[in-house]
Chains A and B, each alone.
Chain A
């Protein structure tokens, strides 16, 4: 029985461009992409944190890097990734305890996650970067 359940052929549609992901699905894949990107950039972020705290020389090079226009843009993107991961994560914690698990609330809470994370990104980004 169990083996049959595993081997049962199910229809597959992996033609990605034809799949229209609903909003909670978009939230979910950005949750994964943002987590992966933050992981990949950990050495850069740790280096920034270290140089911001170590000495006058390292602090000066920290400021120089952070004040570069392109770096500011990258950091703004990372702040959005962090805020999205944070807000979507709280939504998942609520789903774990069965809050907002029906379709209507799931779509609404996805909209809230996008709205709040973008608002937080702008507030924190302007506060920290400019």
Chain B
């Protein structure tokens, strides 16, 4: 007799890995970002834009934002699953969370490529 409790198709392993992969991307970016703002802060528009105008920083910042929003989805979804018991309300909050995060992703892309 197989003595295990099935709670989902893949036990959340994919999300578990993505939560950690996105964390590593953000951790690396954080170090890069701290080094950069160690020399150039948001003191004048020209120098501050110069930081993100380069291809590397723009793409790295884009990757950071995408990782952030995916990471936030998993974390906030876990909070809803831990504390919100009524199915309908939980589903509503999850949909709202996913919706605003997709919106933020569009916003972040617009910021980076319209500046």
Contacts and interface: CB of A to CB of B under 8 A. Distances in A.
A93 B76 CA distance: 19
Contacts of A86: 26-27, 30
A56 B45 contact: yes
B83 to A, nearest CB: 10
B42 A52 contact: yes
A46 B104 contact: yes
Given A59-B45, A86-B27, A32 B79 contact: yes
Interface residues of B, number: 30
Contacts of B115: 53-54
Interface of A: 1-2, 5-6, 32, 35-36, 38-39, 42-43, 46, 49-50, 52-56, 59, 62-63, 66, 86, 89-90, 93, 96, 124, 127-128
Q: Which 8 A-B pairs have the closest CB atoms?
A: A59-B45, A53-B115, A50-B111, A35-B75, A2-B5, A39-B72, A52-B42, A89-B23
Interface of B: 1, 3-5, 20, 23-24, 26-27, 30, 34, 37-38, 41-42, 45, 48-49, 52, 72, 75-76, 79, 100, 104, 107-108, 111, 114-115
6 contacts: A35-B76, A42-B104, A53-B52, A54-B115, A86-B27, A93-B24
